[in-house]
Amino acid sequence: MYLAGIDIGTTSICVIVTNGEDGSVVRTLSKANDAALPSMKLWERAQNADRIVELVRELIEECRDDWNNVGAIGISCQMHGVLYADKEGYAVSPLFTWQDGRGDLLLESGKTYASTLSELTGYPLHTGFGLVTHFSFTKQREIPSGAEKLCTIGDYLAMQLCREKTPFIDSSNAASTGLFSLKNGEFDKDQLIEAGMEAGFLPELAHTAKLAGETADGKKVLWAIGDNQASFLGAVPSFKGTLLVNIGTGSQVSVYSPDYIECPNLETRPFIDGGFLLVGASLSGGKSYELLEQFFRDVCGAFGKTEERTLYEVMNRLAEEALKDPSPPLRVGTQFFGTREHPHKTGIIEGIRPDNFNAKKLTAAFLHGILDELDGFTKGLPADLLVQLTRLAVSGNGIRKNMAMQRLASSKWQLPITFAKVKEEAAFGAAVHAAVGSGLYNDYAEALQRMQRSDSDDK
């Protein structure tokens, strides 16, 4: 049986078709996510939910020959964001994404919506979280007409594929919207109501009903899982003993724990098997490296040399050269975009000397800085989890395409590096999830043992 994994990202959408017997990739297709909606409000980040569904349908049509053999569909989606659906299951609002800034707007009290809701409920919340967005709409009395339920974009897609009217939500996505009790495994409806919101807008949890339904041609469709959990599932050979480092636009480290644990500076997220992921998430990562590339490009332009292609290949080579240079390194704090705890924090460059103030040392220092921030998260892990780590799984183009970054990472954590078999980790993880949810395999350990063993190339 073939399995399909669909990943709805902020900037791209991917569909992958795999052979359920060995995980070999049959087809991979992707499109740019062009559903972003223009807005006069500089803080608003919204996407057209029905356009996203249309893009997915176009990708399905493009792989029609292989799609006929698909038996089950898993979905991964960008986390935190929500949209409103009516009683027929159709969107009556855009998708308000994780980047939406209305939660940082000020109430009459002079406090932000996000901080106010955090104080009222005791939960750590940030702008872009779905229930912070909903809190803003509730206070402003701007909940869309006809709205019955909140749902994620992944669950909205599942509804459209199956023509279901009522959304459910996996705990991996539910927790990302806010006001979710990890210990109890459910939304904290009492706190939500106490904050002045109606609990009726919350979707039911997909604890036992992992299947959303079936498509018109009989394919099983699962409710969506969070892209962080899907990426972990699609990138690691085994849950236990693996430290996952993902460097893309942002960056994060993830470690699996079978038990609920609270760690300083780490976020505990529900995992799809009933366990948890301990996650340290940075707002920087690839964005910081992109900032450096733009700086180099501006310098070239200022001196009359324009460059059409990106400078990343040159930067990566410079970084490798810097690792062989014995002169003292520069030190860069890459929090140019702040942190979740300190959104106004700035980056720093220090340790400048005559023998290290050059392009290669600066480039290498940016890579060090990105990894240093992630290493700071791992230092907060419990000792019993740290000693169990035997491998470093890496994902994301920010590290896949950068040998210097790989060497620095392996050295920093003193672990051998393994690469995910498939570059589209979240989509592949969604396919693995479909394998278990549809009953092809009894559990995720069995699915990973079978599906991660093949090294077949994509078509």
Quote the pLDDT of residue 338. 87
Residue 58: CB atoms within 10 A of its CB come to 13
Backbone phi, then psi, for 151, in 5-degree steps?
-155, 165
One digit per residue, the tens of pLDDT, for the chain of length 459 reads 999 999 999 999 999 999 999 999 999 999 999 999 999 999 999 999 999 999 999 999 999 999 999 999 999 999 999 999 999 999 999 999 999 999 999 999 999 999 999 999 999 999 999 999 999 999 999 999 999 999 999 999 999 999 999 999 999 999 999 999 999 999 999 999 999 999 999 999 997 668 999 999 999 999 999 998 999 999 999 999 999 998 987 899 999 999 999 988 899 999 999 999 999 988 888 899 999 999 999 999 999 887 778 899 999 999 999 999 999 999 999 999 888 778 889 999 999 999 999 999 999 999 999 999 999 999 989 999 999 999 999 988 889 889 999 999 999 999 999 988 888 999 999 999 999 999 999 999 999 999 986 443 333
Other beta carbons within 10 angstroms of residue 93's beta carbon come to: 21
User: Cα separations (Å) of 240 from 236, 412, 416, 444?
Assistant: 9, 20, 15, 12
**Residues with Cβ within 8 Å of residue 197, at least 6 apart in sequence:** 131, 134, 135, 138
CATH code reported for the domain at 2-228: 3.30.420.40
C-alpha distances (whole Å) from 79 to each of 32, 170, 215, 368, 427 are 18, 11, 24, 28, 14
Distance (Å, whole) CA 228 – CA 205: 18
What is the model's pLDDT at position 420? Answer: 81
Number of C-alpha atoms within 13 angstroms, CB side, residue 369? 29
The domain limits of the chain are 2-228, 241-419
pTM: 0.88
Query: For the domain bounded by 241-419, which CATH number is listed?
Result: 3.30.420.40
C-alpha distances out from residue 107 to 89, 113, 116, 117, 127, Å: 32, 7, 8, 11, 14
* Tokens matching residue 222: 């699962």
Give the pLDDT score at 208. Answer: 63
Which residues contact residue 184 at a Cβ distance below 8 angstroms, ignoring those fewer than 6 apart? none
Residue 73 vs residues 408, 426, 446, 457: alpha-carbon distances, Å: 37, 13, 18, 21
What is the Cα gyration radius of the chain?
Answer: 22
Give me the DSSP letters along 92-112: SS-EE-TT--GGGSB-TTSSB
CB half-sphere exposure, 93, CA atoms < 13 A: 26
The token pair that represents 34 in the structure block: 């062009």
Alpha-carbon gap, residue 288 to 199, rounded angstroms: 39
Q: How far apart are CA 128 and CA 97, in angstroms?
A: 6
Domains 2-228 and 241-419 share a fold: yes
Q: What is residue 284's predicted lDDT score, i.e. its pLDDT?
A: 82
Residue 150: exposed, middle, or buried by beta-carbon count in 10 A (0-12, 13-18, 19+)?
buried
* Rounded distance between C-alpha atoms, residue 301 and residue 293, angstroms: 12
SS3 320: helix
Rounded-to-integer distance, Cα 9 and Cα 269, Å: 19
